[in-house]
Amino acid sequence: MKWTPGGRSQDLEDRRGETPAYGGGGFRLGRAAPLGLGGIVILFVLSLITGTDLTSILGSDPGTTAPGPSGSPVPPGPAATTAEEEKLVDFVSFVLDDTQNTWSQLLQGYRRAGLVLFREATNTACGVGESATGPFYCPGDQKVYVDLAFYEELKRRFGAPGDFAQAYVLAHEIGHHVQGLLGTEREVRRLQQSRPDQANPLSVRMELQADCYAGIWGHSAAQRGKLDPDDVEEGLGAAAAIGDDRLTKGRVAPDRFTHGTSAQRVEWFRRGLQSGRVDACDTFNAR
């Protein structure tokens, strides 16, 4: 892609320096193992011996460090990073702003989504988000969550290199944000609850529509001369690489798919790329 590094997006939140947050199984001190019942008892006994309330650290929020000497939480330090990673942050920031600027022109009253960069795990309004999930959108706080390590996995594990492949992933998640603003996400969740047998097919149609919405941004970028000759193929390659049939290697029945086949994802991404129109992305009424 043709892009120029600039200031970081105001919609970007950098949590890479935070201690990962974990949910469910117990409390985690820094990066140590979860603290179980036995550990809590030990803290209580040590509190009696030392005269210091060591159990107060149990009130720390997941993802933060233990309280400092004054009793106030110690904020996370700066993230350990590299020049290559910071260049990737600049690129992601550019794509975030460019994608949302495009949607601001297409949708009246468009509200911008946030983007959270994290490592390993972080708290979200949808629960604890983990890197293993891959990039995801949380409608509860209207934020996209990305662990930058995914982009290396996209290149090496899924065989989808290139900056436009990376941009497609983020544009797809912003597509989910658009669905939330248009009421599509809410209606799909309602239908999934009333028709559990249609939960997976409805999920597929919603994911394919987000692919099409990503293509709409790609169409805009092409119109503005921001795409290189190989960019479209990179985006189509990324869409194909993460199809349900490719990821499961044919071991899962199509009625259990949740994102669509490689061919479907390519088709709908291409529709958005070619048309640049929201009405061309009606996956719910398409055969």
Axis crossing angle, helix 199-223 with helix 231-241, rounded to the nearest 10: 170
pLDDT at position 128 is: 93
Tokens of residue 276, six digits: 């640049």
pLDDT at position 38 is: 44
pLDDT at position 157 is: 74
Assess contact for 217 and 226: CB atoms under 8 A. Answer: no
Tokens of residue 83, six digits: 């020049």
Consecutive H or E run containing 39: helix 37-50
Whole-angstrom distance, CA of residue 83 vs CA of residue 131: 22
Give the CA angle between residues 84, 89, 95 to the nearest 5°. 125
Give the CA angle between residues 91, 11, 228 to the nearest 5°. 25
Assess contact for 232 and 218: CB atoms under 8 A. Answer: yes
pTM over 0.85: no
Alpha-carbon distances of 9 from 137, 176, 280, rounded to whole Å: 18, 19, 29
- Among all chains, which residue has been given the structure tokens 């669905």? 179
pLDDT at position 6 is: 76
pLDDT at position 287 is: 80
pLDDT at position 165 is: 87
Domain chopping of the chain, boundaries: 23-75, 83-285
pLDDT at position 225 is: 94
pLDDT at position 45 is: 42
Phi, psi (5° rounding) for residue 124?
-140, 170
pLDDT at position 252 is: 54
pLDDT at position 74 is: 44
pLDDT at position 24 is: 40
pLDDT at position 260 is: 78
Run means of pLDDT, 10 residues per run, the chain, 287 residues? 86 89 38 40 44 44 42 56 92 96 96 96 94 91 94 80 87 96 96 92 93 96 90 79 58 62 90 96 92
